[in-house]
Amino acid sequence: MTVSQIKKHQGSSVKELIQWLEHNKITEVECIFPDFAGSSKGKILPVNRFIKSMEDQSLKLADSVFGQTVSGKWVYESEVIDYVEEDLIMIPDFTTIRKIPWNKEPTAQIICDLKYSVSIETSNAYTIEEIDPRVSIILDIKTPASNEAEKNIVENYNHLKSTDEIKFVICNLSDFNWSKDYIEKYNLTSSCQIIFSPSYEEMPLSELADLILRDGLNVRLQAQLHKTIWGPVDGK
C-alpha cells in the first residue's frame, strides 16, 4: 500500500465500509494479519458481528496464535508465549477490504493492524517519502567524516513527523560543529527529536557529552551500548 492510498483512505468511515459490504452482499468477513513468519492468521466473523466489532472495538484474538509454527504445531512452555494469554486488539484497515473469489458464500477479507509500533532506521541517502506514515523513522544524516555528506537528501525533512528521530554519528569536533550548523540551517529541532551518537574509538562519549552541555544543544546523547559493553566484536 502506498502512502497516497493511505492518505486517501484516512477519511474512510465505518459507514462507507458498511455500504460496501451491503452492496457486495457480504455474509462473512475474514480478518487477517501476518505472523512473524509472514503467514496469515486471524478469524472469520459473520458480517453483523464484524460491523459491531468495529463500532465497539471488540475485534480481538488471543496472542497464543503467535505460538503456532509454520507447520501448524504449537510452541508450549516457551518464553515467546505467556501462560496468561493477552488479547490482541485487531484494527481493520479499510483500504485492504476485498471480496474473496474462491468462496461460495459472498465473503470479504480485510487486513488488520495489531497496535504494534514499527520503526525503521535508514540512511538519509535514501528517500523516505513512500514509507508508511504509521512507521516511526530514525533518519541517519551523514556527516563529513563519513565521506557521504553529499548524499543527504534535503527533501526528506519535509516528510518527518514528531514521532521520528534524526541521528548524527559524530566522529570528531569538525563533525560536531558541522552538525550544529546543519541543524540550524534546516531548522531540524522543529521537526522531531535530534540524537547525537559518538563514533566508537573516534569520539569519546564523555567528550561529546561535554560539548553538548557546553553549547546547550537541544539534542539527546545516545551511546552505542553494544560496543561499549563488548567492544568492536562481530555478532554483537
Domain final position from 97, 113, 129: 113
User: Do 91 and 65 have their domain in common?
Assistant: yes
User: Do 109 and 143 have their domain in common?
Assistant: no
CATH of the domain at 39: 3.10.20.70
pLDDT band at 12 (very low <50, low <70, confident <90, very high): low
The pLDDT mean for the chain works out to 85
User: E-assigned strands of the chain?
Assistant: 28-34, 40-46, 60-62, 87-89, 91-92, 98-100, 107-113, 119-123, 136-141, 165-170, 193-198, 220-221
Q: What pLDDT is attached to residue 45?
A: 92
Percentage of the chain modeled with pLDDT above 90: 53
Q: Containing domain of residue 47, as a range? A: 13-113
User: Do 220 and 129 have their domain in common?
Assistant: yes
Structural domains counted in the chain = 2
Higher pLDDT, 38 or 169: 169
User: Do 136 and 52 have their domain in common?
Assistant: no
User: Do 128 and 101 have their domain in common?
Assistant: no
Domain final position from 69, 85, 113: 113
> Considering only 7-11, 61-65, 205-209, which range has the smallest mean pLDDT?
7-11
User: Do 105 and 127 have their domain in common?
Assistant: no
Over residues 63-76, the pLDDT tens digits come to 777 776 666 676 65
Percentage of the chain modeled with pLDDT above 70: 86
Query: Is residue 2 one of the residues assigned to a domain?
Result: no
Over residues 52-111, the pLDDT tens digits come to 887 777 888 877 777 766 666 766 555 555 555 677 888 888 888 999 988 888 999 999
Residue pair 25/19 in contact (Cβ under 8 Å)? The answer is no
Query: Is residue 201 one of the residues assigned to a domain?
Result: yes
> Considering only 29-38, 39-48, 134-143, which range has the smallest mean pLDDT?
29-38
User: Do 147 and 211 have their domain in common?
Assistant: yes
Q: What pLDDT is attached to residue 9?
A: 44
User: Do 54 and 99 have their domain in common?
Assistant: yes
User: Do 28 and 99 have their domain in common?
Assistant: yes
User: Do 146 and 186 have their domain in common?
Assistant: yes
Query: Is residue 236 one of the residues assigned to a domain?
Result: no
Q: What pLDDT is attached to residue 5?
A: 46
Q: What pLDDT is attached to residue 7?
A: 42
DSSP state, 102? Answer: T
Task: Tell me the DSSP string of 22-39.
Answer: HHTT--EEEEEEE-TTS-
User: Do 17 and 108 have their domain in common?
Assistant: yes
Cα–Cα distance list, 163 to 4, 126, 180, 192 (Å): 20, 19, 21, 7
Domain final position from 113, 138, 172: 113
Q: Which three cell numbers stand for residue 32?
A: 487477517
Question: How do beta strands 220-221 and 193-198 pair?
Answer: parallel
Res. 10: pLDDT tops 50 = no
Res. 1: pLDDT tops 50 = no
Query: Is residue 198 one of the residues assigned to a domain?
Result: yes
Higher pLDDT, 155 or 10: 155
